[in-house]
Amino acid sequence: MPSLKDLKNRIESVKNTRKITKAMQMVAAAKLRRAQDAAEASRPYTERFNAVLGSLAASVGGSDSAPLLLRGTGSNQTHLLVVLTAERGLCGGFNANIAKLAKTRAAELVAAGKTVKILTVGKKGRDNLRRDFGDKFIAHVDLAEVKRVGYTDAQAIAKDVLSRFEDGEFDVATIFFSKFVNVVSQIPTAQQIIPASYEAGQENADATLYDYEPSEEAILADLLPRGVATQIFAALLENGASEQGARMSAMDNATRNAGDMIDKLTIEYNRSRQAVITNELIEIISGAEAL
């Protein structure tokens, strides 16, 4: 049974931990506001941009004149998985859920006889995937020194991916990230970015016909690389909001658990203290009766 001093020290230690988790929760709440606003502000632009590209892609179809980013290489043998995670932990299952989705996809592709290559963005994703798929890593992007992720960061990642595609290093590229819903809900998502894939619903809702100049192929050749950067940037923003939401929720749970532990330790401390006092009283009474 721990002594009174041990219990008192443990209570103080848990109180200090609760102060830290509470402070981290408040910091995450402040960062979440900015990250959520950024993610939500990017959605209308991304959706409209994809709608324009979807309309152009539908008009071009699978013709041989279509840009390579749209029609693809004609093969799906080599897959590049771009895994976007955080640089830091203490955010619940945020990083693990993204890595789990990427691991599942990689295992399925390997089982199907496909070649898998992995590019990680964020230290936690790299650490999580290294044990099972470390031999398939081809690059890593470190954003630890970046205070706020911007479009230039997404452009740099997109430029690397596009250059590898032009060099014939892969046939299909998919990004893995977490889509932000609210503080307690973030959805791990896999999105194919090369070759570009657009749903039929992304075409213009009013079915308006446009005449394009220059040709649709020329416009697509210019917009598709920007589309890759836009999708990566939107994914980074969604990840940023999801990370802060997950951290805020995790630190809130940790703070409440610390409070529960303090209450239990306090009860145990009071019981032990009462037992010590009772034993002392018994000794005094026994000594008095002996006289």
Question: Which residue type is seen at 144?
Answer: A
Active site residue 236: no
Catalytic pick from 91, 161, 251, 258? 91
| Cα gap 291→286, rounded to integer Å | 9
The pTM of this model reads 0.84
pLDDT along the chain (291 residues), means of 10: 84 94 93 91 87 79 73 88 92 92 94 94 91 91 85 92 92 94 90 79 51 75 88 93 93 94 92 86 80 66
Delineate the domains of the chain, giving CATH numbers in brackets.
Answer: 4-20+252-290 (1.10.287.80), 35-250 (3.40.1380.10)
User: What pLDDT is recorded for position 75?
Assistant: 87
Distance CA 187, CA 65 (A): 37
On the CB side of 186, CA atoms within 13 Å amount to 33
Q: Which two tokens stand for residue 222?
A: 């210019």
For 260, counting Cβ atoms within 10 Å of its Cβ (0-12 exposed, 13-18 middle, 19+ buried), the class is exposed
What confidence score (pLDDT) does residue 204 get?
A: 46
- According to the 3-state scheme, what is the secondary structure of 88-123? CCCCCCHHHHHHHHHHHHHHHHHHCCCEEEEEEECH
Q: CA of 192: how far to CAs of 159, 196, 212, 250, in Å?
A: 16, 7, 26, 30
Length in residues, the chain: 291
